[in-house]
């Protein structure tokens, strides 16, 4: 592997750590800018995502080998050490090459003394096998959950939240399968916008979404460009979430739709294509200007002009009471359902974030219901199975409002799907639907459909 490939991986790790960048958005741009070969691009992707995915485990190894907590290591050095440890413990790259190249990265980033420290730590790690290191750090665990966290590279609070979410479906015994799925790279899934693109012949269709298919391999970007954006990279669960709203009941011509939290625009593009096909009108809103720009790019693939506003979704909905027939609230969330594609999310969020996010989600859904006409439907969607972000918000909305009823989202998804979906009925008896990586091969999308009465 070239030093350029390691350098791109390191630059991505630094941006994720220092600037809260999203690896899935940044890495393709850095690979293209560096002019990496296809082979080096694949390796860079594996190094980046593998290091991000197992960061907590590698930090425990580094702490033991350096005899100091990672919080006391310079962040630029620490990211290089994580990259080096990943190569030593989880790839076939020769340990001596991993040590040498990582030390060179540290020398360029932080100078000679820091490179000497990195050399000593990595050589200490390379003297023992990965199995010996895993046994060592697990022996230091203070609880079974902490041991599981080190083995599976998930924070303890995430493990407990996922266990509770599975237990709510009577399937707590699937936790190991879910944690394993979170650490596997997802297949690249494509969506052909309905009415605007066809699934190319020779490609395997997705099991559930009528819009989805798989690429045989290679970079999907040329396929997207050739289609002028009418074929897109999109998780199958996201496709189903958008279709659950548009196909919850038949569309009447002239309906008004709103995508309240539209960025980055994947679901918006499906809504727009469906709106064109059925004579509906779609408006989109996204608070963050950069993400609003991505929404406009996504909508450019649809042969019709759509407005995109940049407002707080709560005030945007409050401006238009009793107006819309369908509203998508794809709410800001912890992102715990997309850890395969955004592995850094597990380390970026904390339990303290959940309260703030659930309060925001509740306010967004409440405002969206107020913007519905009687008979209109809100799809409340999160890319998280955390019960506070799913059933907790749903219960609060149903408790506080007498003008809303819950539809059976599981039945709607079954009607949309190409094949039967194993959607467990939650213990609370609600009509909500929860998709899972280990069970469905999708992100862990939560979908609830609420009709204003």
Cβ–Cβ under 8 Å, residues 324 and 258: yes
Beta-strand ranges (E) seen in 290-332 are 307-309, 324-330
DSSP track, 168-227: TTT-GGGHHHHHHHHTSPPPPEEEEPTTT--PPTTSPBPSS-TTEEE-SSS-SHHHHHHT
The dihedral built from the CA positions of residue 200, 201, 206 and 209, taken in this order, carries a sign that is positive
Element of type H or E holding 231: strand 231-233
Q: Say how many C-beta atoms besides its own lie within 10 A of residue 411's C-beta.
A: 14
CA distance 413 to 52: 33
User: Around 162, how many Cα atoms within 13 Å sit in the side-chain half-sphere?
Assistant: 33
Q: Say how many C-beta atoms besides its own lie within 10 A of residue 210's C-beta.
A: 17
Which 3 state secondary structure label does DSSP give 59?
helix
CA distance 162 to 53: 17
- For the question of residue 383 being annotated catalytic, the response is yes
Q: Is the peptide bond before 424 cis (omega within 30 degrees of 0)?
A: no
CA distance 233 to 45: 17
Q: Say how many C-beta atoms besides its own lie within 10 A of residue 134's C-beta.
A: 16
Cβ–Cβ under 8 Å, residues 442 and 244: no
Task: Copy the structure tokens of residue 21.
Answer: 């960048």
Q: What angle do CA 321, 327, 328 make, to 5 degrees?
A: 140
**What CA–CA distances, in Å, run from 278 to 229, 325, 409?**
20, 13, 21
Q: Which of 78, 88, 118, 383 is catalytic?
A: 383
Which 3 state secondary structure label does DSSP give 256?
strand
b/e map 161-200, b = 16+ CB within 10 Å: bbbebbebbebeebbeebbebbbeeeebbbbbbbebbebe
Q: Which active-site residues does the annotation give?
A: 383
């Amino acid at each position: 592997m070239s030093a350029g490939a390691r350098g791109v991986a390191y630059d991505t790790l630094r941006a994720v750590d220092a600037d809260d960048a999203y690896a899935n958005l940044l890495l393709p741009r850095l690979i293209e800018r560096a002019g990496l070969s296809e082979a080096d691009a694949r390796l860079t992707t594996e190094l980046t995502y593998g290091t991000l995915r197992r960061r907590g485990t590698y930090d425990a190894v580094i702490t033991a080998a350096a005899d100091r907590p990672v919080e006391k290591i310079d962040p630029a050095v620490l990211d290089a050490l994580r990259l080096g440890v990943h190569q030593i413990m989880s790839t076939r790259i020769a340990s001596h090459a991993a040590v040498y190249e990582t030390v060179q990265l540290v020398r360029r980033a932080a100078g000679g003394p820091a490179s000497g420290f990195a050399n000593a730590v990595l050589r200490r790690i390379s003297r023992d096998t990965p199995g010996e290191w895993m046994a060592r750090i697990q022996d230091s665990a203070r609880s079974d959950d902490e041991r599981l966290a080190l083995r599976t590279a998930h924070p303890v609070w995430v493990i407990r939240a996922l266990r509770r979410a599975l237990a709510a479906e009577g399937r707590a015994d699937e936790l190991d399968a879910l944690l394993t799925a979170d650490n596997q790279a997802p297949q690249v899934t494509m969506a052909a916008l309905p009415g605007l693109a066809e699934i190319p012949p020779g490609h395997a269709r997705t099991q559930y979404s009528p819009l989805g298919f798989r690429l045989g391999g290679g970079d999907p970007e040329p396929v997207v460009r050739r289609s002028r954006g009418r074929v897109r990279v999109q998780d199958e669960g996201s496709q189903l979430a958008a279709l659950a709203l548009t196909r919850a009941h038949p569309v009447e011509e002239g309906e008004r739709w709103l995508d309240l939290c539209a960025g980055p625009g994947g679901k918006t593009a499906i809504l727009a294509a469906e709106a064109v096909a059925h004579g509906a009108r779609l408006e989109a809103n996204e608070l963050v200007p950069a993400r609003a720009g991505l929404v406009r790019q996504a909508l450019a693939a649809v042969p019709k002009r759509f407005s995109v506003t940049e407002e707080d979704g709560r005030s945007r909905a409050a401006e238009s009471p009793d107006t819309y027939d369908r509203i998508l609230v794809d709410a800001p969330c912890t992102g715990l359902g997309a850890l395969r594609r955004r592995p850094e999310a597990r380390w970026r969020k904390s339990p303290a974030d959940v309260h703030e996010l659930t309060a925001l989600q509740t306010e967004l859904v409440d405002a969206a219901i107020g913007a519905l006409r009687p008979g209109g439907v809100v799809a409340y969607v999160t890319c998280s199975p955390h019960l506070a972000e799913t059933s907790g918000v749903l219960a609060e909305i149903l408790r506080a409002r007498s003008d809303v009823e819950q539809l059976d989202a599981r039945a709607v998804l079954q009607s949309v799907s190409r094949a039967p979906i194993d959607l467990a009925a939650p213990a609370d008896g609600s009509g909500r639907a929860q998709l899972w990586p280990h069970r469905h091969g999708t992100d862990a999308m939560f979908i609830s459909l609420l009709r204003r009465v």
